[in-house]
Structure 1
Amino acid sequence: MHYDSKLAFSSEIDVNPMLALIFIVTLLLFASPLIIGFVGILAPAAAWLPALNMHHPSLLGWQQLFSWPDLSHSIGLTLLTGVGSTVLALWWCYLILRHFWLTTQWQKIERLLAPLLAFPHVAFVLGFGLLFSSTGWLARIWHHLGLADTLYPILIHDRYGLGLLFALAIKETPFLLLMSLSILKQLDIRRLYDVSVSLGYSHQQTWRSVILPLWLPKLRLAIFAVAGYGLAVVDVALIIGPTHPSTLSMLIWQWFTDADLTQLPRAAAAALLLLAIVISTFGLLRSLEWWFLSYSTAWQYRGAQSTHSRNSKPSSVIAILCNYGLLLLPLIMLPILAMWSFALRWRFPDLLPSRYSLRFWQQQLEPLQQLISNSIVLALTSSLCALIMVIICLEYRQKYHRGIPTVLIAIPMVAPQLSLLFGIQIAVSFVTGQHFWLWVSWSHWLYVFPYIYLTLDGPWRSYDQRLDQTARSLGLTGWQTWWRVKLPQLKPALWLAFAVGCSVSLAQYLPTQMLGAGRIPTLTTEAVTLASGQDRRISAVYGLLQGLLPLVFFTLAMMFAKQQTSETPTTKVTL
């Protein structure tokens, strides 16, 4: 036994410095692009670009930006679509939780969240366009119902961005629901609900006055992530967003991809302006939260109020149908994309195609092989590296009680991608050589790492460390304890986190385009490119594959996790 303790002590000496070293390297790899991104955007915004014979800082970029005639309209559209989609998604999330949380139907909704989150934004928006366009499926049903064409809602490239607003709200609602799961379980909603009802509060009063003030502040980070994405979204806006004028993120993207490099100062200034808008919006949302909660907590002085609800059953049925419709709408896009990908002839206003064919799949078979290969390699590489580094960071935090700050982890999730990647792309341009695969993989890793970290943070905190102490007392070394005791317990969570990372990587558009300079095409980049004017049947092929690939990763992860759970019902330590 004396020899075993010495062996364990020597193992600690070998492992601990390596653990600390990898933690520091991970911290540098994660923090350096954030610093480079924010600092690298300042030079072009100040019109200091020696490569373009701009050797002296000036306000040229800002002058060009504010002289743009449609700038105020673009900022207004950005705020309308970004803030509007965030508030609408939050409201829908609250309504769904209020109607289903304490019912048996919630288990069905919870099982739907994984495939809904795995479905990428681009694939959903491609199906959204095929459903709500002027010749889409809804327009065909509208025509057969005999309704006037003038009453048909225009949601694709509409001037007010309402289609973009609704699409973002529908797609972000499952994300807010998933973030609410752990929050509501920690709050013990059943106990709060029973006590409130016993004091005379109705169902709606309980959720509005008791549960909402506890739930909303804990959801703040997720709300900021949704708002940051909605304000700076590019790929979704390219497909269904307004065009004349467009959102501010679309303007920045057009100026950045312009062949005239003298537009870079204006694009950099606009990227800084977008960053300022996002930060100001966070402050606005925080102020609205404080005002709303200060009003909601006034129930402590008012007490229960009597409510007389008539026709509650029909209204509840309508609410259930609407809420289920919001959740099922993203999944409806898959059959729509599949039908369009096989449609050879589909006249308007026929509800179904008159002829089907494999022609478009056969035409795209050769380029699809390379695109799928690039997408899978990037997803596996970035997710595997992020998973290993997240495990090391969590182990370091558990051992030394020092980890990566949550604020730093959240920056890639809430900061606008355009502002961050603009500076990184400018900084990378100074590095000699064409290392496009390295830069794109690094950028994917940067956005995959936070999601995997937050996915594994809960399981690591809830792990019972007494199992490790028992295993060490029986003579196992630190590495043996982790491999034979801790890993089997956390393996289902690791599989889920890996699938989350792969789905995040597969959905990346801007990092692949900006740091890959168009030389590393993926399913996402090609789907967005083909959505702007190409044959909608070819777009449906790419959208369908882009939507199915993350579902494959999630399905495999759930199978492996379920298999692991059935194989290791209890933890056994064998000496």
Structure 2
Amino acid sequence: MKRSFITHPAVALLLAISLIPTSAGLAAALWFGLDTAALARVFATPGVGLSIASAVWTGSVATAIALLLAHVAVALAASGNWRHRLTTLVLPLLAMPHLAIGIGLALVLAPSGVLLRLFSPWATGFELPPDWLIVNDPAGISLIIGLVLKETCFLVMALAAALGQVPSARLQAQAVTLGYGPLKSWFTTVAPALQQQIRLPLAAVLVFGISNVEMAIPVGPALPPTFPVLLWRWFTDPEPAIHAQAYAGTLVLLAVSIAVIFAAHLLGRLVRRGLIRSASNGLRRTDENRVRQSFGTILTIGWTLGCLAIIAIGLRAVSGPWRFPTLMPANISLTTLQDLFGLTTGVGVTTLALAAATAIAGIALVLPAAERCRQSSTGRRRLGALLFLPLLLPQMTFLFGVQALLVRLNIDGTFIAVLWSHLVFALPYLWGILAPARAAIDPRYEQVAATLGVSATRSWLIVTAPLLTRSALIALALAFSVSVALYLPTLFAGAGRVATAATEAAAAAGSGNLRLAAAHAILLAVIPLTAFACAYLGAALLFRQRRGVPR
């Protein structure tokens, strides 16, 4: 990147907001974690090897399945001309935070959950919940299912966005004319090109899958837990000696994540070679109806399961006693709704305030930098990679160092501290939406305005801003969603004194109080869904009478 970009005040401020806490967190992790005695205690912990293996297994398998399903979903949508409908279908699950999906899945998949109630007693004969270990199973299957539901939606959106940079229709048409079936033509010609465009999002998905705590708390393995959950318990332990062990454990988690990313890179090269061989083996596979139907069924089941999780959260939060095997709760009363409102009002206000502040501050930081980098694709790409760095690191690795920085600045446990930590994770998404949208605006619009004597500021307000409105509204909704979903950044930057829906839902889920967890999970679901609905409706209504304006 040219020096002028970095030294520009808007770009420098954006990088400072993102990289100062990240760098400080990594430095603290290295300073406190490089302790041979603490590392020895980490590896001497009973079951730690199984915990690490469980984290790698669940994160890697979930990422691989999600990537395959995302490619198939986009391929089926592209061949069926319903790509835009696909993004609408995945939006509800994409907006749902991981923690809310995890709580919902626990209510659906449990032996007394909604799924078994649908078939009991008429099909299963069960009058009482069976003694099955489905949720929190040692193999992590329920955790994998939850991660696949969320990450497939994220990767679908990433692939859909990358399609604009790849001549997918032309590549697939050429393969079809050579006799290839739609799916094989997609995986042979389009998928390799798309993979180059989504390398960073895919790496972020893989790292999150390995290091996540939010979904592992309600549905992850229990004995032993995944390694990130074990680290979380060490950091929240009141014994100070355990904290050094936790810092050392974060370096182990970082090393494991780097090793898995490197292994995934090597595996990707092998898969690419396999696709090349498949393309040249002479098998056209024109009859793909069974394969397409099978994948379509899997995608439909997954989407239905996610919707059931959302419904289960709502039912459990507002219901009283709910005996098995009745499908619906015995009573849903106004008193229950009033109790629910009383439980979540204060937390909801704090969550909304943080989300709004994160979205507005993030937009204010990103727009000037995007304006400065609008004519340099290299500058945008490199700045985006720097902003994306916090998403490529396990949160555990640097968040505790961030907490130490906030203590030094004497702002830990304050609203400003939590807002700063939320901005670190929201800025990459805001940049990914607004920077390309700003660069895509034809500069001739502004040139025409200048020839008419309009000043640069007024030209931006009356020409550029309306063209950016739809992207800005979607970016605001996405920042809302990111802020609402953040658990660990809120917990440690807030020092336990800033309660949001995410922290309260995690605490309730960890204690086994699923009704209270569902009550807070409703907030986790409703706020992002409402934000996205307002963004899309606002963009459609605001400029409905102006031709050519994106809406």
Bin of the TM-score, shorter chain as denominator length: over 0.9
1:274 aligns to what? 253
**Aligned residue in 2 for 1:507:** 485
Look up the match of 2:242: 263
Task: Report deviation, 1:307.
Answer: 4.2
Q: Show CA shifts across 1:421-453 (max 9, x none).
A: 021112322334655212111000111111111
Question: In structure 2, what is the equivalent of residue 319 of structure 1?
Answer: 295
Structure 2 residue runs without a partner (length 5+): none
Q: Rg larger in 1 or in 2?
A: 1
After superposition, the Cα gap between the structure-2 partners of 1:139 and 1:327, relative to the gap in structure 1 and judged at 3 Å, is closer
CA distance in structure 2 between the aligned counterparts of 1:344 and 1:173, rounded to whole angstroms: 34
Aligned pair in 2 of structure 1 residues 204, 147: CA closer, same or farther (>3 Å)? farther
Equivalent in 512, 518, 522 of residue 500 of structure 2: 522
Deviation at 1:109?
Answer: 1.6
Is residue 378 from structure 1 mapped to residue 357 from structure 2 by the alignment?
A: no
1:70 counterpart residue number: 47
User: What does 1:474-513 correspond to in 2, within 5 Å?
Assistant: 474-513=452-491
Greater Cα shift, 194-203 or 237-246: 194-203
Superposed CA offset, 1:318-344 (max 9, x none): 432322222343233222222222322
Partner of 1:354: 330
Q: In structure 1, what is the equivalent of residue 28 of structure 2?
A: 40
CA contact (8 A) 2:384 2:428 kept: no
- 2: distance between equivalents of 1:439 and 1:117? 27
| CA distance in 2: counterparts of 1:150 and 1:537, whole angstroms | 18
The equivalent of 1:336 in structure 2 is 312
- For the Cα contact (< 8 Å) 1:183–1:215, is it kept in 2? yes
TM-superposition CA deviations, 1:259-310 (whole Å, max 9, x none): 00111110000001111111111111111111111221235644x425484x
Indicate the percent of aligned positions where both proteins have the same amino acid. Answer: 25
State how far apart, in whole Å, the 1-side matches of 2:38 and 2:295 are. Answer: 50
Of 342-351 and 71-80, deviating more is: 342-351
Check conservation: 1:41, 1:426, Cα contact below 8 A. Answer: no
CA deviation digits over 1:499-552, x for unaligned, max 9? Answer: 111110010100110110111101111111111334433322221222011111
Change (3 A) 1:197 1:26: closer
Question: What code does the residue aligned with 1:159 have?
Answer: P
1:146-179 superposed Cα distances (whole Å, 9 cap, x missing partner): 2689998743111111111111011110110000
Cα shift at 1:568: 3.1
1:228 equivalent in alignment to 2:204: no
Q: Distance in 1 between matches of 2:294 and 2:376?
A: 53
Q: Residues 313 and 23 of structure 1: is their aligned pair in 2 closer, same or farther, counting only changes over 3 Å?
A: closer
Q: Which residue of 2 aligns with 1:251?
A: 230
- Contact in 2 for aligned 1:89/1:173 (Cα 8 Å): yes
Instruction: Go from structure 1 to structure 2 and tell me whether the alpha carbon gap of 1:221 and 1:155 turns closer, same or farther (over 3 Å shift).
Output: farther
Residue 202 of structure 1 pairs with residue 181 of structure 2: yes
Residues in 2 aligned to 1:491 and 1:108: alpha-carbon distance in whole angstroms: 22
- Deviation string for 1:72-119 (max 9, x for gaps)? 101110110111110011111122223232204433222223332111
1:296 maps to what in 2? 275
CA distances 1:393-423 after superposition (whole Å, capped 9, x unpaired): 1111126774552321211222111112021
CA contact (8 A) 2:112 2:129 kept: no
How high is the TM-score relative to the length of structure 1? 0.89
Q: 1:112 to 1:275 in 2, by over 3 A?
A: same
Q: Which residue of 2 aligns with 1:407?
A: 385
- In 1, distance between residues paired with 2:170 and 2:286? 25
Given that 1:81 and 1:230 are in contact with CA atoms closer than 8 Å, whether structure 2 keeps it comes out as yes
Q: Is the 8 A contact 2:73 2:299 kept in 1?
A: yes
1:565 to 525, 543, 547: 543
Structure 2 equivalent of residue 537 of structure 1: 515
In structure 2, relative to structure 1, the CA distance for the partners of 1:405 and 1:535 (3 Å cut) is closer
1:550 aligned to 495, 515, 528, which one?
528
Q: Contact 1:164 / 1:237 at 8 angstroms: preserved in 2?
A: yes
Gaps of 5+ in 1: 1-15, 47-57
CA contact (8 A) 2:412 2:494 kept: no
More displaced, 187-196 or 168-177?
187-196
**What amino acid maps onto 2:241 in structure 1?**
T
Shift of 1:313: 5.0
Report how many residues are paired: 542
CA displacement 1:28-70 (0-9 Å, x = unmatched): 2222111101001122214xxxxxxxxxxx5221121121121
Preserved contact between residue 130 and residue 137 of structure 1 (Cα < 8 Å): yes
Question: Which segment is superposed worse, 134-143 or 171-180?
Answer: 134-143
Letter in 2 for 1:119: M
Match 1:31 to one of 2, 8, 19: 19
* 1:159-214 Cα distance to aligned partner (Å, 9 max, x none): 11111111101111011000001222332322222221211222233123222222
Instruction: Tell me, in whole angstroms, the C-alpha distance in 1 between the residues paired with 2:155 and 2:179.
Output: 30
- Other-structure match for 2:162: 183
Task: Give the letter aligned to residue 310 of structure 2.
Answer: L
Q: Distance in 1 between matches of 2:47 and 2:312?
A: 36
- Residue 325 of structure 2: SS of its match in structure 1? coil
Q: Which moved more, 1:146-155 or 1:190-199?
A: 146-155
SS at match of 1:464: coil
* TM-score (ref. length: structure 2): 0.92
For 1:199 and 1:365, the matched residues in 2 are separated by 61
Distance 1:352 1:17, change over 3 A: closer
The answer to whether the 8 Å contact 1:440/1:515 transfers is yes
Structure 2 residue matching 1:160: 3-state secondary structure: coil
Distance change (3 Å), C-alpha of 1:241 and 1:482: same
Mean Cα displacement is larger for which, 422-431 or 150-159?
150-159
1:554 aligned partner, one-letter code: F
1:97 matches 2:74: yes
Indicate if the aligned counterparts of 2:93 and 2:149 stay in contact, CA closer than 8 A.
no
Task: Kindly provide the amino acid, as one letter, of the partner of residue 475 in structure 1.
Answer: G
SS in 1 for 2:499: coil
